[in-house]
Amino acid sequence: MHIHILGICGTFMGSLAVLARELGHTVTGSDQGVYPPMSTQLEAQGIGLMEGYHSDNLKPRPDLVLIGNAMSRGNPEVEAVLNQNIDYMSGPEWLAREVLRHRWVLAVAGTHGKTTTTAMLLWILDQAGFEAGYLVGGVPNDFPVSARLGNSDFFVIEADEYDSAFFDKRSKFVHYRPHTLILNNLEFDHADIFDNVEAIERQFHHLVRTVPSRGLIVRPALDTHLDRALELGCWTSVQATSVGSEVPYMADWRAELLAEDGSRFMVVHHEQPVAAVKWYQTGLHNVRNALAAIAAARHVGVTPDHAVAALCRFSGVKRRMELLAQIDGIHVYDDFAHHPTAITTTLEGLRNKVGDETILALIEPRSNTMQQGVHQQTLLPSAAAADRVIWANLNQMDWLPALIEGHNATAEAPHHHSVESTVEAMIGRVLEQVSGPCHIVIMSNGGFGGIHQKLIAELERKTG
């Protein structure tokens, strides 16, 4: 079968392309604004990429078109699919029908940490010999591709709450029917499709409704919005996780920090120490991710001590505090954070690791929610762990310069935050501000105008 994918370079749709190719289908796809790592992965898989959306991309006529949720009516290729009566469906529906049926699905949902937690859980199962299938919304460093069918009954998937397609406004994860479910957290996001956090809670509840009574739900002990989603009805056993003594009662799984930056911690199960994790990851968010992955792995038979041993060898995920370069004491990182909470936890994790060393953050508010200014009250405080922050206003958002101007007019350190409207101007400002060893964190959920390699090249030229 010839399957054509609209929006193929998205992390989810690109992973579907890999699975479809592995199933033996001929796969093509189109997108715009193509950038690594997904474009690189697809090219390596021999999957044909077409730049831009045109009706000619449907020649020869495909047997099936999978339509990504970024596509809408008016898109030339979408209109051609409808007018030519070509068979089509959403990516989540195809995945559920062709891959997930009759498999033990382990799903990871939540506003933050889905990709990393999914990769952790997958790595634990892989090291235990499970050979599970998987779909990760990124490219794990420990695996060559973002998805595979696997050779067992188990399938690990990142379960996104975003809608499925323009014709299917249900959250993607409602299609997956997991037997083991991790709920990392729940906050307001995706303002382009959800009116408020209550609407997201309702979608999470719909997901909870699909988990069998013999299944398992793993969640953090402290999360009011998850409380509300579960209070709408839950028919499945729930296990809670916590860090330190943050809850006054006994959580099923707890981490005792052995290092402030989260690089070492003891896993405690029902108040009995299991084993200590010593790994390359940092930040309390990753400690929480690890606890959830350990709990979920135990549900399918992996003992906690084996899970801990695997995590000690976990390499992380591309674009999650991925160290891109070290140039004369200057460390350049790439991170996917695009929500104030994620920005906070990521930068605080780095701060706890590097102490008083200088941190410079380059942040692109790129998501639909960010661009609408929904989080502007918490945006600047989210980067408090950085010494200096340069905000990218590549989409000319009126509220962002006004926000920073208002902050600088009253702040004690008015040059802590600045804003630039082009990548070149941002790089110029970085070169002005960098005078010695430091840590530069580039934060965006998109290509950021290719700033990563451009900045590295300029830093090498300056220091060389």
Whole-angstrom CA distances from 319 to 180, 398, 452 are 26, 28, 11
The pTM of this model reads 0.82
Give the CATH fold of the 2-90 domain: Rossmann fold (3.40.50)
Alpha carbon 443 to its chain centroid, in Å, reads 12
Taking each helix axis from N to C end, the angle separating 451-463 and 423-433, rounded to the nearest 10 degrees, works out to 30
Whole-angstrom CA distances from 215 to 39, 212, 251, 284, 389 are 36, 5, 19, 27, 44
Q: Are 7 and 31 in contact (CB under 8 A)?
A: yes
Pick the CATH number of 102-311 from 1.20.1530.20, 3.40.50.300, 3.40.1190.10, 3.30.365.10: 3.40.1190.10
Q: In whole angstroms, what is the distance from residue 278 CA to residue 273 CA? A: 15
Q: In whole angstroms, what is the distance from residue 343 CA to residue 349 CA? A: 10
322-463: which CATH architecture? Alpha-Beta Complex (3.90)
* CATH 3.90.190.20 boundaries in the chain: 322-463
User: For residue 147, which phi and psi values (nearest 5 degrees)?
Assistant: -160, 150
Q: Are 66 and 91 in contact (CB under 8 A)?
A: yes
**H or E, element range at 198:** helix 197-209
* CATH 3.40.1190.10 boundaries in the chain: 102-311
* CATH 3.40.50.720 boundaries in the chain: 2-90
Q: Are 169 and 153 in contact (CB under 8 A)?
A: no
Token pair, residue 385, equals 């762990």
Tens of pLDDT along the chain (464 residues) come to 999 999 999 889 999 999 999 999 999 999 997 767 778 888 888 888 899 999 999 999 999 999 999 999 999 999 999 999 999 999 999 999 999 999 999 999 998 889 999 999 999 999 999 999 999 987 788 888 889 999 999 999 999 999 999 999 999 999 999 999 999 999 877 667 778 999 999 999 999 999 999 999 999 999 999 999 999 999 999 999 999 988 867 799 999 999 998 999 999 999 999 999 999 898 899 999 999 999 999 999 999 999 999 999 998 887 888 889 999 899 999 998 778 888 998 899 899 889 999 999 999 988 766 666 667 778 888 999 999 999 998 888 888 888 888 777 776 655 689 999 999 999 999 998 888 899 999 999 878 888 999 999 999 988 76
- Collapsing DSSP states into helix, strand and coil, what is residue 2? strand
| DSSP sequence for 378-420 | HHHHHTTTSSEEEEE-TT--THHHHHHHHHHHH-SSTTSEEEE
User: Residue 154's closest CA among 307, 300, 20?
Assistant: 300
- Tokens 């307001």, located at residue: 188
